[in-house]
Amino acid sequence: MSLIVKICGLSTSATLDAALEAGADMVGFVFFPPSPRHLGLERARELGAQVRNRAGKVALTVDADDATLANIVETLRPDLLQLHGKESVARIRDIKRKFGLPVMKAVGVEAAADLAPLPGYAAVADRILFDAHPPKDATRPGGLGVPFDWHLLENLALDIPFMLSGGLSAANVRDAVRITRAGGVDVSSGVESAPGVKDVAMIRDFIGAARAAHSPSPLPASGERSPARGAGG
């Protein structure tokens, strides 16, 4: 199966079109006010309509309550919910039950011990997204443009698909995929000219470099349905 490529934190029509035209499988929209990529609901509605089933729509939230999630789901009609906070296994299960959507749980990685919660998450989530731990003084989750040690994921045995994030760029995505054998890659700051400002040329370059990586999926293709190009929503 070909590598899944996700461009996250899109906020303008031009950069969303660039991602879609370059062949992104997933496009991500951030709903978290401290982020420079945060979208209001009306803007999210406009961009979601622009996708027109050309890619899977992903809604990124951080410890969002049910009312917030309900508004996002109604407005964007996402194909996948990306939970990027400290959501517990029970909370993930509850979100899936209430909203009936696939869930991708983000896991911050700094050391091998950070992989310990994986069996619990894998039992309820549909995907795992490995990201770097944020710096100690950070106000937002995620690696914030800094990669973690990808060798920590070598020979990883996981029963659900996983994606890789954190400090990826066109220059390093090939090595990242080769080391981790991830089935997908997710980039945000690596295709920006400034925080929250996506760059059309960088988006195209990243997708091209990711496609050149030619990574196989860590799972058999028959065992996975990805919210990719052509997904409903």
Residues 92-106 pLDDT 10s? 999 999 999 999 999
**Could you tell me which residue, 138 or 233, shows the higher pLDDT?**
138
Euclidean distance between CA atoms 174 and 83, whole angstroms: 26
Q: Is 131 a catalytic residue?
A: yes
Q: What is the pLDDT of residues 182-206, one digit of tens each?
A: 999 999 999 999 999 999 999 999 9
User: What is the Cα 136 distance to its own chain's centre?
Assistant: 22
Looking at residues 51-67, what average pLDDT do you find? 97
**153/164 Cα distance (integer angstroms):** 10
Band (109; pLDDT cuts 50, 70, 90): very high
pLDDT-based confidence at residue 146 (cuts at 50, 70, 90): confident
Average pLDDT of the residues in 67-90: 98
Say what the pLDDT of residue 137 is.
59
Q: Give the mean pLDDT of 3-30.
A: 98
Mean predicted confidence (pLDDT) in 167-175: 96
Report percent pLDDT > 90 for the chain. Answer: 82
Task: Examine the pLDDT at 230 and tell me if it is beyond 80.
Answer: no
117-128 mean pLDDT: 97
pLDDT of 231 > 50? The answer is no
Q: For position 213, what pLDDT does the model report? A: 86
Average pLDDT of the segment spanning 14-29: 98
Domain parsing of the chain, residue ranges:
4-220
Catalytic option among 8, 25, 126, 186: 8
Q: What is the mean pLDDT of the chain?
A: 89
Q: Does domain 4-220 have CATH number 3.20.20.70?
A: yes
Catalytic annotation, pick one of 25, 131, 186, 205: 131
Q: Residue 136 pLDDT > 70, yes or no? A: no
pTM, 2 dp: 0.88
Task: Centre a 10 Å sphere on the Cβ of residue 115 and count the other Cβ atoms it contains.
Answer: 16
Is it the case that residue 127 has pLDDT exceeding 50? yes
Residue 149: φ, ψ to 5°: -75, 100
